[in-house]
Every structure is written in C-alpha cells, then in structure tokens.
Amino acid sequence: MTEAVSSRTSDRFELLVQSVTDYAIYMLDPTGIVVSWNAGARRFKGYEADEIIGQHFSRFYSPDDLAAGIPAIALRTAETENRFEAEGWRVRKDGTRFWANVVIDPIRDSQGTLIGFAKITRDLSERREAEEALRSSEERFRLLVQSVTDYAIYMLDPVGTITSWNAGAERFKGYKTEEILGQNFSRFYSEEDRLAGIPSRALETAERVGRFEAEGWRIRKDGTRFWANVVIDPVRDPQGNLIGFAKVTRDLSERREAQQALEEAREAIFQAQKMDAIGKLTGGVAHDFNNLLAVIVGSLDLARQRLETGADITRYLNNAMAAAERGATLTQRMLAFARKQELKLTSVDCIALVRDMADLLQATLGAGVAIETRFPLTLSPAYADPAQLELAVLNLAVNARDAMPNGGHIMIEGVEISPDDCPRLKLPVGRYVQLSISDRGEGMDADTLARAREPFFTTKGIGKGTGLGLSMVHGFAEQCGGALHIASTPGEGTTVSLRLPVGAAPAAQEAATLMKMSHPSDSPLVILAVDDDDLVLTNTAGLLEDLGHTVFQAESAGHALCMLDQGDFDVVVTDHAMPGMTGAQLADIIEEKWPGMPVIIVTGFAELPPQAVKRLRLDKPFKQSDLSAMLSKAMNAAKVESPPFNPAGPGAG
C-alpha cells in the first residue's frame, strides 16, 4: 500500500516538472551527467530528451566558461555550500546564445550521501535585452548631457543638493564635478537672493506648479556674476513621489550685453532724431516769428516817429496788433502739435462756422481759388473748440490751395457719420460730424501719404512751412475725441476729413453766456498783480488800471504774501511760472489763509499742475477784454462777499 502511494506521488511530481515550460528543470548525477529532461529545457535549449540524457551538462557553457572551469566550480560550490546561483551566457543546440539564470542545488539521500544535483535554468534573454536597451539609452542620455557645453544641466535632490554635473555647468560656473557634488545649489545665488529665500522658493514653485523659470544674476566659483536663464522641473517616480529636480541654466550675459548695447544705440538714434526735430522746429518757428517781429518792430518804430509829429498812428498800431495775434496763433499751433493746448470744448455749428469764415478764407486763399460749400439742410453740432476748429479749417484750406499752384477749386462739405459706419471707419462707436476739405491738385503718392501726419514733414520746400499744419490738425482732432482721415490719389487730388464727435445742444452755452453777462463790471476792485517780469507786470497793471481798478504790484510770490498780510484785496492776478514759488502754489496758500479770495492764474504753459486745474486761468497772450471777462467770472464765483474797498491801500490803519 505504501509503495503504491509513493509511486503515485512520484508520478505526480514528474508530471508537474514535465509540465513546466518556462524553466529548464533537470537532474545531474554527481559528476554532471544529465539524467532527466523536462519540456522547458527542451523548449529553450533545443535538445530532445534522448539527445541530451547521458551527456555532460558542460555542453551548455561557452568555450570561455569551459576554459575557466565554470561547470566544475558550479557543482563544487553547490556541493560544499548547498547552493549555486549565477547568471551568464549559455549555448543552445543550434549554437546560439541566451542569457540564463542558473540555480544548482545538491540532492542527498536519507544518510546525507550526495546522489546528484537539481538544476533549474531560466531564459532571461528578453529581460537582459530590455535592460541593455535601457542601459544603452541611459548612457546615450548621459553622454548627451555631459557633451552639452552651452547649458548647465544637473540634478538636485528634493532639498537642493547637487547630485550630477555636466560639462556646461563646469564651463561657465567654474566648479569641477568633485568640487560641487553634494553641495547645495543655493551657492550659485547672490547673498541678497539667499537672504530673500529665492532658492528655496524656486524649488517650492517647481514642485507646486510643475515648473519654475526666471532670469537673474548668478555667481561663478571665482565670485564674478553672470546673467542666467534658469528652468527647474520636478522629477517624480512612477508613483508620483518627488525624487529631485532637473535644473537647466543658460548663461545669457553676452545676449544681455548685446541687448543693452542695442538699446543704447536706439537711444542714441532717438536722441539724434529728437535733436534733428528740435532743429527743424526752432528753424521753422524762428523764421515765422522773425517775420512777425519784423512787422511789430517796424510798425511800432513808425508809430513812435509819427507820434512825435502828431500824425495818425492807428494804422501802424493795427499792424502791430495783427502781427501779435498771428504770433499767438503760431503758439497755439505749437501747443496743438504737442496735443497739450487748453481746448474749450463746446457745441459748434459747423455750417455757421464755415459761413462766417467765408471772407477770411477767400482773402487768405486768393482770387485764383474758387471755394464751394456743400452741407445738408441740418447738421448736428460738433464737439470741439471753435477757435481751434477755425484754425484747423484754415490750415487745411491753405494746404489745399498750395496743392494747386495754378489755382483751382476747393470743396468744403459736412456730413454725419452714423454709429453703424464707425467700425468700417475705425472709429469708436458713436455719432460724428465729418468736415471735409477737398482739392483737385497734384495728390500724394503712397509714401507721401504715409508721412503726411508726421511733424515737420512738408513738401512745400525750404522756408515755405514748418510742417506742423497737419500734425496740429491731427492732434486737435484726437483731443476732441475724433480722428483725421486723408484720402489722396496722384494727379486727382486730396480730401482731408475731420471727424468730430457730435456735441450737445447749445442750451448750456446760452446759459453760460447769460451768466457771463451778469457780472458787476462797473464795480472798482482792489487787485494785487504778481509777476516776476517787470514788463509783463507793468503791462498787466496798466490794463487793470485802465478798467478803473486800483492795482498794487508784487514782483514775487513771497512779496505778494507780505502785501496780503498788510492790506485787503478783492482779487489776486498772478503769473504761474515764477522762481521760488509758482502761481499755483501761491494760490494754495491764499486759499488756506484767506478762504474765498479769488485767484486768477495767468500762464503761457499748456498745462497747470494737477491740483490747479480747477482754478481760474487766463492764457497768454490776452487782451484787455479777456482780462475784464476773467475778473467778472472770478467775482461771480467768489464764495464770500468782497471785503470793503480800502482807499488807503495796504498798510492803512
């Protein structure tokens, strides 16, 4: 019975061993002769059982292993140490090699006598090929990284310790591999950056966001600085755990120096262009002002000579006044070019404006030019400064005349632009009035048209224009919230269109006019006039005294404050641009110490300081009527009643 059971158990073990195909499982006798052979051995070694049983297992080894006595060593090790395991090349029946894992265990009987060996072999060729491919790939990447010299590419552990170092890092950071491995990467940062915690913040950002990139100064081994672009990426294992960081640094010092040199060159070019522009501006303006000053000086000289003989000098005074007004217009053109003139925006009836300019236009353009107007029966008012709009129309009409040296025809027309047309005309959506001046002259080619709005650009020749006309009109249109459009075809003519926003109904203007007329113009006032220029101060005081007011003069803001402490005044008229303390600053002190006292700031500048924009201002040059109207406005706007008139003046009592 026992023998039968033992026989069945033996049969089951043999069946089990014979069924294994992924492992070669066979027995050797004590000398290494093969005494059994399973299906796995037959599958990947290639021998049938009757071909190999009785053969020595050493035939599976390569000639090199045989020469080294590896088979005998394997058996001796298994016998003496009860186990032998190794990996190496083995040889199939057809002579091909495969990589095998070999385990040899001794087999002993119940008395411990060695009766043979159990040998298990596994074909690991595929795994080895994969490992070799991986190793080869890693080696290629290692060689690739090590060969890069323009980038520092190295690894950090999770706390920033350097674990690898390539040739690029060594080249421009200066550290050898053995010097830097095991050091923290923060040593590349400046002391200020380290104190600010930038290195640790960079790693934290890379871990949290998945990437960190920045540019900044880094430190070489010798202490010199270089401008670097830095990229840090987190490195994670297949489970997503952070195992370190990949850091790539590029030295951008040369590029940064080149950029700085380029910026300096651009700045130098810009400065040269600016000086050239200033030269053109001063040359053109000096030419125009010299013409005007020649009229003023000549007329006043003649007036003085005629006055000595008692002759009528009205004609010469009128000539001087006309030239001075033209000078004021030229100044306005300069401010318009800078787009900083003080505009008095209101609703303007364009039809009435052009109609009222008819005589001026015809006189300016000459008899050789015919002017035609074309307007609809009704046209919405434009939102603009009437005086500047007149000047713009006059400039455009003069340009149109100059484009027709032999005379010709100029058309002035107005239309409304609906909101639906704004996108096509590249205007913000809204309602606009378009005022166009067209000529049938020479027209402009594409290059000239592209430069037509440029300051100082002119096709009229030397001494015939400053090149500010279209620039002025362009700046004026944009300040009003509109635009300037130019259409031109060589040989057919040019159309310049002013597109201005539609203004509100003129009811508010009428109310303002009534308010302006209600001032107490006949009331004599005690006025303190302040200006650091004696000529201007004397002139302003004379204009005020001629209006019937009592005027005291101060040549500085400090002097004015002393006089205000000593006497009572109804209003202060002060220049803005004064040394030591400006008119706007003086007005602030007056408002604090003498609340409610009106202050009129007289200025030739386009802009006042932000805190002074709401104060009353009178622009230079001004006439007596302008000064009188501003006084009336100041007194109407006063918050308290004027102090009683003190005929004794400052210091009385």
Q: Which CATH superfamily is domain 148-251 in?
A: PAS domain (3.30.450.20)
Number of H helices, E strands in the chain: 23, 20
pLDDT tens-digit series, residues 295-328? 788 778 888 888 888 888 888 788 888 778 777 7
For residue 471, the model assigns a pLDDT of 72
From first CA to last CA, the distance across the chain in angstroms is 152
Separation CA 297–CA 301 (nearest Å): 6
pLDDT tens-digit series, residues 456-498? 555 554 444 444 567 778 878 888 889 989 998 888 899 999 9
Q: What type of residue is 12? A: R
Q: Among the listed ranges 48-52, 240-244, 364-368, 471-475, which one has the minimum average pLDDT value?
A: 471-475
Helix boundaries (H) for 174-231 = 177-180, 191-195, 198-209
Question: CATH number of the domain at 519-637, out of 3.40.309.10, 3.40.50.410, 3.40.50.620, 3.40.50.2300?
Answer: 3.40.50.2300
Contact at 8 Å (CB) between 629 and 617? no
Query: Of 415 and 621, which is predicted with more confidence?
Result: 415
User: Per-domain residue ranges for the chain?
Assistant: 2-125, 148-251, 262-335, 340-507, 519-637
pTM recorded for the entire structure: 0.41
Task: Please give the CATH number for the structural domain made up of 340-507.
Answer: 3.30.565.10
Reduced to 3 states (helix: H, G, I; strand: E, B; else coil), residue 116 is: strand
Residue from 592, 573, 593, 591 nearest 583 by CA: 573
**DSSP assignment, residue 641?**
P
One fold for 2-125 and 148-251: yes
Separation CA 397–CA 412 (nearest Å): 9
Q: What type of residue is 645? A: F
- Residue 242's H or E segment, with its range, is strand 242-251
- Residue 136's H or E segment, with its range, is helix 125-147
Separation CA 535–CA 532 (nearest Å): 9
Q: How far is residue 454 from each of residues 337, 343, 450, measured CA to CA in Å?
A: 10, 22, 9
Q: Does domain 2-125 match CATH 2.40.30.10?
A: no
